[in-house]
């Protein structure tokens, strides 16, 4: 008997059934999510329909519902304009996007953050960073095995403990950033809050570019198996990333950031 029929007979909503039966992703799902992550990193405009087509080319015979569910688990969605904004969590406030047509050319003018899926052995974890927009300098980062707000708040607090506060902090509209724990820290430090439009990842383009860099230059190549290996690998990569010459900046992100601070003081 199908799940639909069972739920009908028992008078149980299917959403409740799936919620109670939710389990940790199996080995096959993890392989699928790793494949989805590679496709999405390369083509972030792909939704579940086109993702199914791409997975089929790789030999995965999967349905759209399954792919859609895995994409939700990974916290990703295709980039495209949507007709309306989704309803935020209860008590969560959505702030306007402040960066449109703004020239961001100095350090600590704007910081930004985001979360991304990271494959790890037979499972996965999540990575978040806080970055200075103008210099692309990664100020702090954190790993977590869940997408809760705690590790995002810790990453923000570490960044503020290491550097002077920015004027504006930009995030997406994820519940990790709209909750009082995260926005409360920003308000206490008198930092203006900016949030991307729903489904517009390019509003936070600097972090999106960094995700592509770290995944193709390190994560996919190394294939980390343990959290310890991953933590050491990311630490080494970010140190190298901050210190190496950036093609656009013509200098390293850290040097650009420090130079910007000196210019701010002189002004």
pLDDT, residue 83, reads 40
Residue 82: pLDDT over 50:
no
pLDDT, residue 21, reads 41
Q: How far apart are the C-alpha atoms of 133 and 165, rounded to whole Å?
A: 13
SS3 234: helix
Q: What are phi and psi of 89, to 5 degrees?
A: -60, 160
**Tens-digit pLDDT profile for residues 124-152:** 999 999 999 999 999 999 999 988 899 99
Q: What residues pair up with 192 in beta bridges, in sequence order? A: 168
Length of the chain: 267
pLDDT, residue 84, reads 38
**Tens-digit pLDDT profile for residues 170-181:** 998 888 999 999
Q: How far apart are the C-alpha atoms of 193 and 93, rounded to whole Å?
A: 11
- Whether residue 68 contacts residue 80, with contact meaning beta carbons closer than 8 Å, is answered with no
DSSP at 197: P
pLDDT, residue 3, reads 60
pLDDT, residue 174, reads 87
pLDDT band at 23 (very low <50, low <70, confident <90, very high): very low
pLDDT, residue 27, reads 80
CA distance readout (Å), 15 to 12, 21, 114, 137: 8, 10, 29, 43
Q: Report the alpha-carbon angle 199-172-30, nearest 5.
A: 75
pLDDT, residue 89, reads 54
CA 254 to chain centroid, in Å, comes to: 22
**Which range in 14-23, 29-38, 125-134 is most confidently predicted, on average pLDDT?**
125-134
Decide if domain 110-266 falls under CATH 3.30.420.10: yes
Domain boundaries, the chain: 24-78, 110-266
Q: What are phi and psi of 170, to 5 degrees?
A: -110, 135
Q: What are phi and psi of 5, to 5 degrees?
A: -65, -40
Residues 6+ apart with CB under 8 A from 10: none
Q: How far apart are the C-alpha atoms of 263 and 267, rounded to whole Å?
A: 6
Mean of the pLDDT values across residues 49-77? 91
Closest CA to 173 of 142, 196, 194: 196
pLDDT band at 19 (very low <50, low <70, confident <90, very high): very low
Residue 22: pLDDT over 90:
no
**Structure token digits, residue 248:** 């656009």
pLDDT, residue 147, reads 87
- pTM of the predicted structure, to 2 decimals: 0.80
Query: If residue 144 lies in a helix (H) or strand (E), which one and from where to where?
Result: strand 138-144
Mean of the pLDDT values across residues 56-71? 92
pLDDT, residue 212, reads 92
Tell me the average pLDDT of the chain. Answer: 86
pLDDT band at 160 (very low <50, low <70, confident <90, very high): very high
């Amino acid at each position: 008997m199908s799940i639909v029929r069972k739920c009908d007979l028992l008078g149980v909503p299917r959403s409740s059934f799936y919620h109670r039966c939710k389990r940790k992703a199996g080995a096959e799902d993890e392989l699928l999510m790793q494949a989805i992550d590679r496709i999405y990193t390369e083509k972030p405009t792909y939704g579940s329909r086109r993702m199914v087509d791409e997975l089929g080319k790789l030999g995965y015979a999967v349905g759209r519902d399954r792919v859609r569910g895995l994409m939700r688990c990974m916290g990703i969605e295709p980039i495209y304009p949507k007709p309306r904004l989704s309803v935020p969590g209860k008590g969560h406030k959505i702030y306007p996007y402040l960066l449109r047509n703004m020239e961001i050319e100095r350090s600590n003018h704007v910081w930004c953050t985001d979360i991304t899926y990271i494959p790890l052995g037979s499972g996965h974890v999540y990575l978040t960073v806080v970055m200075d927009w103008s210099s692309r300098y990664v100020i702090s980062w954190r790993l977590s095995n869940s997408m809760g707000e705690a590790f995002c708040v810790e990453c923000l607090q570490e960044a503020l403990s290491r550097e002077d506060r920015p004027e504006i902090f930009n995030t997406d509209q994820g519940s990790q950033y709209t909750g009082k724990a995260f926005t409360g820290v920003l308000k206490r430090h008198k930092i203006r809050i900016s949030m991307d439009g729903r489904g517009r990842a390019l509003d936070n383009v600097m972090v999106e570019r960094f995700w592509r860099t770290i995944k193709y230059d390190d994560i996919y190549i190394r294939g980390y198996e343990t959290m310890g290996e991953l933590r050491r690998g990311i630490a080494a990569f970010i140190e190298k990333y901050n210190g190496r010459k950036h093609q656009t900046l013509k200098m390293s992100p850290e040097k650009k950031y420090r130079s910007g601070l000196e210019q701010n003081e002189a002004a």
